[in-house]
Structures are given as structure tokens and as C-alpha cells.
């Protein structure tokens, strides 16, 4: 949550309204202030604060004045324990939310894999989208560790889909041609892959001619048209960068490493080496047995 709030924003967002006063009526002191701030925080964020410092100091001062409790008392409020759990239950019920379940986490991972991961590669934005979706579904987000597991699961599901779809589009002929490039002792294939991955360098006539040569070499591979037509340019660029990192152009051994010895999810070229057409890609679910 942002920490800077103008007086007008405090009035519009942190003021206790009629129903709020009914909830705090039987509370006093630190409990009264802590509950009030937790309530307004949840209304704004769709979640509870992880630490007291997340609550803006200006909001603490403002709400403390409303409920007639010293602002310094908020430091005594605890976010864990029976009292905190009871407060959270009251707030969820008042706002129509419910705690998330393992089933919710799996459903959210599926949603992210289909709707978000194909177009958004930045993890912070994926996390933000997850929290927004939880709020839309009236679900209190799972804890921070569980949120990260959901994100990992979603990325794993999307990578499997992406790899399987791409390998399927390659077909048997395309897969065979790519496999021949990474075959042991294929020096020509090693050289071609290294050239394709090499950074173009500064813009100039020589670099332009080099990139044209690369395009011609790719065309000679006979890859099917529309292999990545429904993929964002960011996604293709990200996988290219991933391939460069995993198979460095400056290493003659890079393109010939045994993919089966790797635990890190590999790009489509490596997946074609490991699996027949239509097989699943990287297997990072993050949920499944762990969730139970």
C-alpha cells in the first residue's frame, strides 16, 4: 500500500461509515484502533496487512482520531493470534469475503496460465493480477508463500502449454530437422545455432547483412509458417534470451550439452529433443502434492 495520503484521500478512503461503527462498537483501546485500521486496509487492498508498517502513518493518525484512541497504541496491536483471527473473520463476513482454499489456488493458477502468463511476463504484474482476481472473486488471498506457489504453478502450466503447442506445430518433419541440429558431433548444427543466438551488435551495414543471413538460414530449416503467430513479441524475445543464457554462443559445448541432465526448464528447442510432438513441456506445478 502506498504510504502518502492527502487529507482529502484520507477522508474519502479511511473514514468509518455507519456499518463500520457497528463493528467497532464493542471494542476499545488498542483492539478498537487495530480492528478499524485492518477493516479499512482490507476494504482498500482486498487483503490484510502482513506487518503493521504496511499501514500508512497518516491513516493511523487519522483513524486514531476518529475512534478516540492514541495513535501510538497501534504498535501494540498484534496481527497473529486468536484475537487477530477473530477480527479477520468478522471483517471477511462483513465484506462478503471468504478464506482461500487449495481448490481456489488451483483455479487461480489455471486462470493465470490462460489469461495472464501468455501476455504478461513480469512477475510483479502477474502477482498484482492475481490479487486483483482474488478481490473480484471475493476471496482473501492465500499467504505470501502460497501466492508464490500459485505463480510458479501458473508459469509452469503456461510453459507446458506453450512447449506442447509449439512442438505440435513443428510436426514430425520439423522436429526431426531440429533434432539433427543438436545431434552429437554435428559441428555444422552447432555453428548454425551459435550464429543464430549471437547478439547482432551495433546497428550498421555489416550487422544488417549478418541478420539477413540469419533469417535466410532459419528459412532453410523449413519451419512451418505461423509457428509463433499468436504469441506476443515479448514472449518470443524472453524465450530467445533464455536459450542464449542456457546455451551460450561463446561456448562450443553449449549447444551440445545433454538436455536430459538439466533440471532447469528448457526452451522449445530442448523440449523437442526430450519429447515427441505434442508432449508436455517444463513440469513446475508448485501445487499438487505440495498443496496437500
Nearest one of 61, 268, 269 to 163, comparing CA atoms: 268
Dihedral sign (CA 226, 228, 229, 233): negative
Per-residue pLDDT tens digits of the chain, which is 292 residues long: 899 999 999 999 999 998 999 999 999 999 999 999 999 999 999 999 999 999 999 999 999 999 999 999 999 999 999 999 999 999 999 999 999 999 999 999 999 999 999 888 889 999 999 999 999 999 999 988 999 999 999 999 998 988 888 888 887 777 777 777 767 677 766 677 777 766 777 878 877 887 777 777 666 666 766 677 777 777 667 766 666 666 554 434 443 344 333 333 444 444 444 444 444 444 444 454 444 3
At 47-74, the pLDDT tens digits run 999 999 999 999 999 999 999 999 999 9
End-to-end CA distance of the chain: 31
Q: What angle do CA 146, 147, 153 make, to 5 degrees?
A: 90
At 106-137, the pLDDT tens digits run 999 999 999 999 888 889 999 999 999 999 99
Amino acid at each position: 500500500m502506498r504510504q502518502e495520503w492527502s487529507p482529502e484521500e484520507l477522508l474519502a478512503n479511511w473514514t468509518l461509515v455507519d456499518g463500520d461503527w457497528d463493528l467497532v462498537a464493542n471494542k476499545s483501546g488498542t483492539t478498537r484502533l487495530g480492528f478499524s485500521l485492518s477493516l479499512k486496509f482490507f476494504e482498500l487492498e482486498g487483503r490484510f496487512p502482513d506487518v503493521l508498517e504496511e499501514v500508512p502513518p497518516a491513516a493511523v493518525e487519522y483513524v486514531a482520531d476518529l475512534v478516540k484512541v492514541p495513535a501510538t497504541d497501534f504498535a501494540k496491536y498484534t496481527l497473529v493470534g486468536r484475537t487477530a483471527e477473530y477480527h479477520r473473520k468478522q471483517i471477511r463476513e462483513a465484506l462478503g469475503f471468504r478464506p482461500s482454499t487449495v481448490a481456489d489456488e488451483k483455479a487461480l493458477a489455471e486462470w493465470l496460465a490462460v489469461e495472464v502468463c501468455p501476455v504478461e511476463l513480469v512477475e510483479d504484474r502477474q502477482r498484482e493480477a492475481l490479487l486483483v482476481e482474488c478481490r473480484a472473486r471475493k476471496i482473501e488471498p492465500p499467504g505470501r508463500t502460497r501466492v508464490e506457489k500459485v505463480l510458479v504453478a501458473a508459469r509452469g502450466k503456461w510453459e507446458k502449454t506453450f512447449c506442447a503447442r509449439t512442438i505440435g506445430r513443428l510436426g514430425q518433419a520439423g522436429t526431426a530437422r531440429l533434432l539433427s541440429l543438436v545431434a552429437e558431433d554435428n559441428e555444422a548444427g552447432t555453428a548454425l545455432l551459435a550464429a543464430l543466438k549471437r547478439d547482432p551488435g551495433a546497428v550498421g551495414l555489416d550487422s544488417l547483412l549478418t541478420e539477413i543471413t540469419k533469417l535466410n538460414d532459419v528459412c532453410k530449416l523449413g519451419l512451418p509458417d505461423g509457428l509463433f503467430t499468436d504469441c506476443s513479441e515479448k514472449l518470443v524475445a524472453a524465450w530467445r534470451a533464455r536459450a542464449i543464457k542456457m546455451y551460450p554462443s561463446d561456448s562450443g559445448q553449449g549447444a551440445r550439452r545433454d538436455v536430459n541432465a538439466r533440471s532447469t526448464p528448457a526452451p522449445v528447442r530442448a523440449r523437442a529433443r526430450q519429447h515427441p510432438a505434442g508432449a508436455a513441456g517444463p513440469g513446475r506445478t508448485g501445487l499438487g502434492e505440495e498443496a496437500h
